[in-house]
Each structure stands twice: as C-alpha cells, then as structure tokens.
Amino acid sequence: MAKAVKAARAAAPIPAAGNRRTEGERLVMPMIELKNIVKSYRRGSEELQILKNVSLSVEQGDFVAIIGPSGSGKSTLMNTIGLLDVPTSGSYVLEGVATEKMSDNRLAELRNTKIGFIFQQFNLLPKLNAIENVELPLVYSGVPRKERRERALRMLGLLGMEGRGHHKPSELSGGQQQRVAIARALAMQPSLLLADEPTGALDSRTGAEVLELMIQLNEQGNTIVLITHDAHIAESARRVVSIRDGQIVDDKRLAPLPAEPSRQEVAG
Ligand SMILES: Nc1ncnc2c1ncn2[C@@H]1O[C@H](COP(=O)(O)OP(=O)(O)OP(=O)(O)O)[C@@H](O)[C@H]1O
Ligand SMILES: [Mg+2]
C-alpha cells in the first residue's frame, strides 16, 4: 500500500511554476496553498463572513499551530483545509492539485488518502473496537482484510496501544481513545495530519503526552496543522499562525523547517 500511495504521489500533476519555490538546489512545493479564501453563510438577508480572504501556504514537513479565540474561524479553516467544507470563493491547491472544481467523490477520495483527522472528541465509532476503528479508513479505500488488520495492529503498537486492540472506546480512557484516533488518522499514511484541539478533552498530563506524540510524528516527517486556543500548546509547533475574526493577523516561525523534505514512513 505504501508503494501505491507513493506511486499516486509520484503521478500527481506537476504544479504550475508559480507554486514552486527554489531553496538552495531543491524545489519545494507547498503542501497547502490557500489563496483569498472566503467562507460565508447566508442568514436571511444577511451574509456572515466567517473567513475573510485568508491566504496561507504550508510546506511539507512543517508543524503549524493555528491559534485564535473561540469563534474566530479556526475550525472553519481546518474544515476547508481538510476538504470537508467548500469555500465560497478563493483557491486551494493541495500537493499541487487544484481542488476548486472537484466533484464530491473526488474530494472524498483525496480526503481519505491524503488527510488524517484528529478531533477533540476523538470521533471513534462506539460499537467498533480499537482495531476496527483504526481499520475504518482502510476499509473505505479497499485495503484487503489481512493487510488491514496488520496495519491497524502496527499503528496501535506504535502508539503504545498494543494491549487494547479489542477494547471498545467506552472501555478506554480519554488519552487512550485519542491514541486510537491518532492511529486511525495515520493508518492511510496521509500527507497531512489535521488536528482540531486534540488535547481539548484531556487532562493536562494526558494532553501533554498527546502533544509530545504530535511532536514526534512531525520529527518523523509528518506535516501537521494543529488548531488550538492555547498559546502554550502552540509553542510546541514550528510555526504559529494567529487568526482573529476570520483573518490571519500574525504568522511567526519558532523553529525552522526540517532539512530533509522527504517524509519517512511512520509505519516502517
Ligand atoms: N454552518 C454555519 N452556519 C453559520 N455560521 C457558522 C456555521 N459554522 C460556523 N459558523 C460561525 O462561524 C464562526 C466561526 O466558527 P468556528 O467553528 O470556525 O470557530 P472556532 O474558531 O473553531 O471556535 P472554537 O474555538 O469555539 O471551536 C462562528 O461565529 C460560528 O457561529
Ligand atoms: Mg473550533
């Protein structure tokens, strides 16, 4: 499967020259390129602008925290990046692929193969055990049963959950449930991990462990966009983008991009 994923990536259309940046000898293509994104909702005769002309590029290998107060548009931005939500206007290029005119099916396929989601409330299916929850994205993309099981067990093992595979979510602690959710997010070896307040439902110690896990995953080459309202959590990222009232108001780099742009396979 890793081979197939790599092949699919290799076959991705070559981006327009404007999307490339020369850094020393290598060409770096942004993983995410949002330009002038507007998201608005109509309520009666009134139009509510939630994202107001947001432009943002994220490079492969980066760890970006998006920080802002409640209601500032963080989740709306994450849903846009995660192809869960279509912007009202603007352009979004993901790994060199323009997403604006894609059909819902194609968007779903792209979402399933390229993006791993981690949510505050874990979003595990309560009737499935840990292994089955991790297997779910693999089921959707037609990975055969045996390989599915092997990969789910390997991912759970990587997250220190090997002894808990047969537990249902209700039989796991919050921190353990979040580990299962992270294993599920990683199962498809996505290009991008999107986490919306991943520590928000955890006590501070467990939250710190989950955050440490995110740092490790980034060090292993995973590109991460993490949403938080907590400045302390944001400090763990390489870059902090502040959003307020639907607009980016600050963008700070705390640590450089990793030198090696290629992504390692976490599942080895
Ligand atoms: N479907 C919708 N229809 C109308 N307004 C919406 C819709 N979804 C979100 N909004 C509004 O968009 C604004 C931003 O919401 P969003 O969920 O992105 O905020 P947030 O920054 O993630 O907040 P929080 O930190 O509380 O999660 C809010 O004012 C919200 O009411
Ligand atoms: Mg939110």
Q: What is the pLDDT of residues 8-47, one digit of tens each?
A: 444 444 344 444 445 554 456 799 999 999 999 998 999 9
The answer to whether the CB of 198 is under 6 A from ligand 1 is no
- pLDDT of amino acid 15: 40
The answer to whether the CB of 65 is under 6 A from ligand 1 is no
- pLDDT of amino acid 141: 86
Of 115, 114, 111, 87, the residue nearest 101 (C-alpha) = 87
CB atoms within 10 A of CB 110: 17
State in Å: Cα 75 to ligand 1 middle.
7
Neighbours of ion ligand 2 (CB under 5 A): 74-75
From 48, 81, 230, mutation site for ligand 1 pocket: most ligand atoms within 8 A of C-beta? 48
The answer to whether the CB of 48 is under 6 A from ligand 1 is yes
| Distance in angstroms (rounded) separating the CA atoms of residues 8 and 207 | 35
pLDDT tens column, 121-139: 999 999 999 999 999 999 9
Nearest CA, atom 5, ligand 1: 41
- pLDDT of amino acid 10: 43
The answer to whether the CB of 244 is under 6 A from ligand 1 is no
Cβ 151 vs Cβ 186: under 8 Å: no
Question: Model-level pTM?
Answer: 0.86
pLDDT greater than 70 at residue 221: yes
Cβ 107 vs Cβ 99: under 8 Å: yes
| Distance in angstroms (rounded) separating the CA atoms of residues 101 and 214 | 32
